[in-house]
Amino acid sequence: MNQEPATPCPSPVTDYLDGIHKEYSGLSEGRVATYIPELAKANPNWFGICLATAGGAVYEVGDSRQPFTIQSISKPFVYGLALEDLGRPAVLEKVGVEPTGDAFNSISLDPGTGRPRNPMINAGAIATAGLIQGKSPVIRLKRVLESMGLYAGRELGLDEGVYRSESETGHRNRAIGHMLRNFDILTEDPIPVVEQYFQQCSISVTCRDLGVMAATLANGGLNPVTGRQAIRGEYVESVLSVMGSCGMYDYAGEWIYKIGMPAKSGVAGGVIAVLPGQLGIGVFSPPLDSRGNSVRGIAVCNELSRHLDLHLFNNPSLPKAALRLKSTGAELNSSRVRTPRESQALREFGAEIIIYQLQGNLTFATCEPVIRDVMESVGSLGYLVLDFKRALSINESACRMLYQLLWRITQLGKSVLFVHAEHLALLRRVMKAKLGAQYNELYRVFDDDDLAFEWCENRLLHSVLPGWDAESSASHRDYDLFDGLTADEIAQVVPLLKRRIYQRQETIIRVGEEAAELYFVARGNVSVILTLSSGVSKRLATFSAGMAFGEMAVIDRAPRSAMIVADSDVECDLLSLEDFERLSEAHPRIKIKLLENLGLGLTRKLRKANRQLSVFE
């Protein structure tokens, strides 16, 4: 049997499970099942525990790789396959979902229709087995094995010895099969269906398998270890519902009350328990109590539930769960470098731009506080930026609420921007369906938060600064670095400048180049672009006419650390490092002024960076 590669140091979680395992090894009550002779051969000391998380971590201790037969734990998984085959209404017609308060082998058919009360009692499980689609018994068994293999993350097979033993002694279940045929719940010869039921019960699994199978249910049907879907997500809630209300037979109410997780046990000594969204537990220990549940299995589930606070109804509340960060354009700006006049306007009016960074799984409950917060700020809002970069998933109801929010906000004449939403295909689909012809106009998406901020800022500057234009040109006396120089002094520097023309998207500076010039933007905009190790490009800054760039590498003599690209057709004036150096001797006053202005620009950038840092902290 393959072992996982050993971790360099055991996890505190494994430590904890080891402690539980040691503690309950001493619990020697219960008796190994004997009604199927083959099961009586089990070693009563076998004892494994596996805890697998919805994030794909698997912790296992004890005899977690010892094979045994799944028995009744197969019932919820086969029920799920029946739901996928026929859909909920057709399955509900044949098998109910009401708990009976009766024991596992009670027949519990509805007196009128013969419909078994639920799929967790044998009668209901046999009726469910009869719903599995496939032309022949061989194909049906194959489909059941494949389905369970997806949950376990490995190929599963039958324990033929146990199967023969089940089949030889399964008279009561054959009787149930015939009763179901009598009521037309089974519509064909019941004997092959009952055999198929014996086979599904004889599938050989390990405790580790059970943990991963349970975690797959906890993870919406997606096996978190293999990343493969074992059952369509929409049916998981139904499988867990019948486990929750009927999984532990006449112990179901007390189980939910005390342990609080949908669960299922099998007479070979297996138990699974599922905490939706969080984790799955598998326990294996053959000795059973009088109800047919593994004694240690129940004890360990109880201990884990109590110690790890796993009770379904003991959830901490979720206020602000989706809201990672709220900020405004007065604090958080795009990386476009602004003139003092622009910066002043953004500080004054930037609060109209409100930015929400959303995170985690977006549902009605996690999004509602964000929507409420938006509506409370709606008076002062002009531009709403919703950044989904850290949203892990979104469900239909969250999409619908965001649509309603978008609609209301745009009706008020304000703009809504959706940023980094490309991984949320459902959001796009819902918006398309709801907005129809207005989709392109109203569903405004940006794949970069920085560009979204700049879009809002530019709109805002247009509206508050008369004559402001996003693209402009500057004459020499408008150059920031020349502030405070006399016309004569400027005239002494200008001959040192070399004019260069770049086309839109042309690269002006490459990473790694030696810093040999200081650049002045005479016309157009240029951007500093960093290529991250992930290959993603990130804009660090954008400069417009009148600004200088490339000064940091000139000052600290480091090679160029980022690429600089022309955003538009651009004209630049270049001052070579040598000429800049030589000014110290030839025109020290000019040099001093230039250095002072460089210091001023750096100071402004540093103040802006510090302001942004304080938002994040």
Contacts to its own copies from residues 195-224, by CB under 8 A:
218-220, 224
Of 225, 275, 509, 566, which one interacts with its own copies (CB under 8 A)?
275
Closest to its own copies by CB, 179 or 362: 362
Segment near its own copies (CB under 8 A); pick from 76-84, 154-162, 396-404, 482-490: 396-404
CA distance 561 to 79: 59
Angle, CA 488 vertex, CA 602 and CA 468 arms, to 5°: 50
DSSP 390-411: EEEEE-HHHHHHHHHHHHHHHH
**Order of strands across the sheet with 570-576?**
498-502, 570-576, 517-523, 548-549
Please report, as residue ranges, which positions from 351 to 380 form the binding site for its own copies (by CB under 8 A).
Answer: 360-361, 363-365, 368-369, 371-372, 375-376, 378-379
User: Phi and psi for 501 in degrees, rounded to 5?
Assistant: -115, 135
Of 64, 72, 147, 204, which residue is the catalytic one? 72
Q: Which two tokens stand for residue 256?
A: 């939910």
Q: Is 247 in the site for its own copies (CB under 8 A)?
A: no
Q: Counting contacts by CB under 8 A, is residue 256 touching its own copies?
A: yes
**Which of 59, 79, 197, 443 is flagged as catalytic?**
197
Q: How far is the CB of 265 from its own copies (least distance, A)?
A: 17
* Cβ at position 238, least distance to its own copies in Å: 6
What CA–CA distance (Å, rounded) separates 587 from 352?
46
Q: Assess 320 for contact with its own copies (CB under 8 A).
A: yes
Q: By CB under 8 A, name the one of 30, 48, 190, 276 that touches its own copies.
A: 276
Q: Closest Cα to residue 128, out of 61, 188, 75?
A: 75
Residue type, 141: L
Token pair in block for residue 230: 């074992």
Are 14 and 53 in contact by the 8 Å Cβ rule? The answer is no
Site for its own copies in 96-115 (CB under 8 A): 96-101
* Interacting positions 68-87 with its own copies (CB under 8 A): none
Where does this chain touch its own copies (CB under 8 A) — which range of 37-45, 140-148, 240-248, 476-484?
Answer: 240-248
Which segments within 346-469 are labelled E, that is strand? 353-362, 383-394, 415-419, 444-446
Smallest CA-to-CA distance from 140 within 129, 150, 149, 148 is with 129
Q: Which is nearer to its own copies, 158 or 358 (CB)?
A: 358
Q: Is 498 among the residues known to form the active site?
A: no
Residues 434-453 within binding reach of its own copies (CB under 8 A) = 449
Q: Are 259 and 302 in contact (CB under 8 A)?
A: yes
Question: Taking the complex as a whole, how short is the minimal distance between the CB of residue 289 and its own copies, in angstroms?
Answer: 16
Interaction of residue 16 with its own copies, rule CB under 8 A: yes
Catalytic, 75? Answer yes
The secondary structure of residue 337, as a DSSP letter, is -
Question: Exactly one of 206, 238, 294, 527 binds its own copies (CB under 8 A); which one?
Answer: 238
Q: State how far the Cα of 392 lies from the Cα of 215, in Å rounded to an integer.
A: 18
Residue 157 makes contact with its own copies by CB under 8 A: no
117 contributes a contact to its own copies by CB under 8 A: yes
| 90 makes contact with its own copies (CB under 8 A) | no
Q: From the CB of 72, what's the least distance to its own copies, in Å?
A: 18
**317 tagged catalytic:** no
Strand ranges inside 556-616, DSSP E: 563-566, 570-576
Q: Is 153 among the residues that bind its own copies (CB under 8 A)?
A: no
**Locus of tokens 């003139």:** 339
Long-range contacts, stretch 186-191, CB < 8 angstroms, 24+ apart:
186/126, 186/127, 186/130, 187/130, 188/130, 190/126, 190/130
Tokens 């025109």 belong to 587
- Catalytic status, residue 249: yes
At 28, list the tokens.
Answer: 């020697």
Residue of 27, 35, 37, 56 interacting with its own copies (CB under 8 A): 56
568 part of the interface to its own copies, by CB under 8 A: no
User: Which of 69, 118, 202, 544 is in the footprint of its own copies by CB under 8 A?
Assistant: 118
The question of whether 285 is a catalytic residue gets the answer: no
Tokens in use for 603? 């100071």
* Closest distance to its own copies from the beta carbon of 362 (Å): 9
Q: In this chain, which stretch among 169-177, 307-315, 434-442, 475-483 interacts with its own copies, using CB under 8 A?
A: 307-315
- With CB under 8 A as the rule, give the number of residues binding its own copies: 117
- CA-to-CA distance for 275 and 312, rounded, in angstroms? 7
Please choose, out of 76-84, 131-139, 234-242, 519-527, the segment that lies near its own copies by the rule CB under 8 A.
Answer: 234-242
Rounded to whole angstroms, what are the CA distances from 285 to 27, 268, 282, 606?
Answer: 11, 8, 10, 64
Both tokens assigned to 113: 């229709």
Taking CB under 8 A as the criterion, which residues in 124-143 touch its own copies?
none
What are the catalytic residues? 72, 75, 197, 249, 267
